[in-house]
Structure 1
Amino acid sequence: ERRLPLEQASNFRDVGGYVTKDGKTVRWGKAFRSGAMPLLTEADYAQIGGLGLDAVVDLRSLEERQLTADVVDDRTGALFIANDYSMRTLFAGMQQPGGENMYKGMEVLLVPQLRSLYRRIMAQEGAVLYHCSAGQDRTGIATALLYDFLGVDRETIIKDYHLSTEWRDPRWEMPKFDPKDFADNPIVKMYASMPADQRGKANPLYTPSGQSHLAQFFVHLDATYGGSEGYMRQKLGFTDDQLAKLRAAMLD
C-alpha cells in the first residue's frame, strides 16, 4: 500500500511500486517519505517500527528542527542523519515562493542533504525514511530525482508529486507553539504571517500560470544538467559504481 494508514501523520508513503520504462519495478519497503512527524500516536510508532528502518534522513533546516525534533529514530533504533543549514539560506536561494520556477536552484542548496540520502539508500542496510516539513517540496524534489534516475516516466512522477495536495494533513506537521518563544525563527514568522484559515490546508502545487512546479523544475534540470543522472554526477559527485548501487538498491 503506497500510503500508510497512520493516525496522526502527514503524507507518509512508500516510494515503491512504480514500473520503470525498461520494465523494472521500484522496490517496495526500501524507501519511505513523509512530512514532519511531531504528533505520532503510539499506534503510529508501532506501525513505523515494523518497517525495518535503518535510517531517518531529515531534510529540514536547523530552525525547523528547533521547533520539532525528530524522535522516530529514537523510537525505532534507526540512525538519524541531517545536514545543518538555515531556512534563511533556502528562502534566499529560492525563486518567489509559489511563483514561477520556484524550485530553480533548490537542487544546489540541497546537495549535502540529497547526497546523504542517496548514499544511505545505496548502503542497503535497511529501509530509509526521509522527510521535510510538508513532505512535498524538498521531499518531492528528492523523490522526483530518484524516480527520474531509476527510469520512471515523468508523467507518473508528476502525478505522484501532486498526491501531496491530497495526502498532506497539515494538522499533524507542526505542534502548537507560542511565537514569542521563537522570536528569531523564520519558520515561526512565516507561519504566523499566514491567514488562520490557510494554515490547515495543502495548497495545490501549481504556478500562477497553471504549470506544475515539478514540471518546471524538470525543464531546468534538463537544461542545466542533462537530466537527473547528469545532476547526480555533476553536483552530487556520484561515480558509475555508486549509481549502479543506487539502481540495485531500488529496483526489482
Structure 2
Amino acid sequence: MITNGASPSRFVEVDGCFNYRDLGGYRTQDGRTVAWRRLYRSDGLHRITHCGTAAFDALGVVTVIDLRSPVEVATRKWTPSAGWSGRRLLLPLLPEPPDWAAEDPEDLAQEDFAARHYWHTAVTGAARLKAAVEALAAPGALPAVFHCAAGKDRTGVLAALVLRLLGVPVETIADDYALSDEATARWEASLEAGNEDDTQTTWAYVPPAMLVAPPANMLLFLQRLDVEYGSVQGFATHIGIGRESVERLRQALLSGYS
C-alpha cells in the first residue's frame, strides 16, 4: 500500500502539470526503499507555466525522457528555462497517437482492453523502453523525470518496468498507477474552471476504458509479462536491458544497496 506519513508529498506541485509525481518511498520486496526526489513521472511538461518552470528548476532534474509520439512533441512543445542544462531524450513508445475511433467498439468495451494496450505499447516500444532504462541507469542521470501526455499510460508502462526491476511489489505498482485517477480529477477541475483543454487536437476520441486507472489494468499487464517472459526481468533481458544496467539503477535508487 501507498503510505506517505511524514515523507515528501507523492504529488509534486509543478504549476501547469496535473500528474507530476515522485516515485520515491516505495518499499521493495527485500526491504529496501526507493529514494525520494530522484525519479519522477509526469504528464506533458509542455503544460508547465512560468511559475511551474521555477518549481521544476528547483527539483534539479538533469534528465527528461519524453515518451510522446513525434507529432505530439511537435504540436505540444516543452521549452525549458534558459538556465536548464540537462539532457532531453525523445523516446516515443508509439509512432503516433492511437486512432481510437477506428477500433472495434466491442473490443474497446472489454475489461482487459487497457492492459492489452499496455502490452502493445511495451512490445512496440521495446527498443525505446530499453533506451529509457539505460538512460536512467547512466552515471549522473538523476534526478530524472519521464512523461507522456497524461502521465498515465505510456508513462505507466515505463514506471511499472522500472519499479519492478527495483523489486517493488506488483500491488504497490498498481496502486501507484491508480493515482492517475486523482490527476484526472485535477485536470477535470481545471477544465470546469474554464482553462484550456489541450487534448482535443491530439486525442479526438478516447474510449472510457482509457480514461480511468483501476489497479486491475496494471496488474493484468504485469501478469502477462510474467506469463510470456517468466518475470519482468525476463522481459527486460528479452529486449536487451543488461543486468549491469539494472544493477546501476538499483545502486542509484535504492537505500542500503551495494
TM bracket, shorter-chain basis: 0.7 to 0.9
Q: What's the counterpart of residue 4 of structure 2? A: none
Q: What's the counterpart of residue 6 of structure 2? A: none
Partner AA of 1:105 in structure 2: H
Q: Match for 1:79 among 78, 87, 90?
A: 87
C-alpha displacement of 1:104:
2.3
Q: Match for 2:225 among 205, 216, 221?
A: 221
Counterpart CA distance in 2 for 1:90 and 1:223 is 28
Superposed, which structure 2 residues align to 1:62-211 within 5 Å?
Answer: 62-72=70-80, 76-83=84-91, 86-87=95-96, 96=107, 99=110, 100=112, 101-125=116-140, 126-168=142-184, 169-170=186-187, 188=201, 190-191=203-204, 193=205, 203-206=211-214
Range 82-91 or range 43-52, more displaced: 82-91
Q: What's the counterpart of residue 21 of structure 1? A: 29
C-alpha displacement of 1:233:
0.7
C-alpha displacement of 1:73:
7.1
Counterpart CA distance in 2 for 1:81 and 1:157 is 24
C-alpha displacement of 1:175:
5.8
Tell me, yes or no, if the aligned pair for 2:65 and 2:91 is still in contact at 8 Å: no
Partner AA of 1:86 in structure 2: P
C-alpha displacement of 1:83:
3.0
Range 69-78 or range 99-108, more displaced: 69-78
Partner AA of 1:212 in structure 2: A
Partner AA of 1:119 in structure 2: E
Counterpart CA distance in 1 for 2:99 and 2:30 is 36
C-alpha displacement of 1:203:
2.8
Counterpart CA distance in 1 for 2:161 and 2:147 is 15
Counterpart CA distance in 2 for 1:133 and 1:109 is 18
C-alpha displacement of 1:113:
2.4
Spell out structure 1 runs of 4+ moving beyond 6 A.
Answer: 89-93, 171-174
- How high is the TM-score relative to the length of structure 2? 0.78
Tell me, yes or no, if the aligned pair for 1:32 and 1:130 is still in contact at 8 Å: yes
Range 53-62 or range 100-109, more displaced: 100-109
Q: 1:15 to 1:75 in 2, by over 3 A?
A: farther
Counterpart CA distance in 1 for 2:108 and 2:36 is 33
Q: 1:189 to 1:119 in 2, by over 3 A?
A: closer
Q: Give the match's secondary structure for 2:53.
A: helix
Where do 5+ consecutive residues of structure 1 fail to align? 180-186
C-alpha displacement of 1:194:
6.1
Aligned-residue sequence identity (percent) comes to: 27
Aligned residues: 232
Q: 1:175 to 1:74 in 2, by over 3 A?
A: farther
Q: Match for 1:230 among 228, 234, 240?
A: 234
Counterpart CA distance in 2 for 1:75 and 1:175 is 28
Q: What's the counterpart of residue 52 of structure 1? A: 60
- How high is the TM-score relative to the length of structure 1? 0.80
Counterpart CA distance in 1 for 2:219 and 2:45 is 28
Q: Give the match's secondary structure for 2:46.
A: coil
Q: Give the match's secondary structure for 2:89.
A: strand
Instruction: Output the aligned Cα RMSD.
Output: 3.1
Counterpart CA distance in 1 for 2:135 and 2:128 is 11
Superposed, which structure 2 residues align to 1:23-38 within 5 Å?
Answer: 23-38=31-46
C-alpha displacement of 1:156:
1.2
Counterpart CA distance in 1 for 2:253 and 2:206 is 39
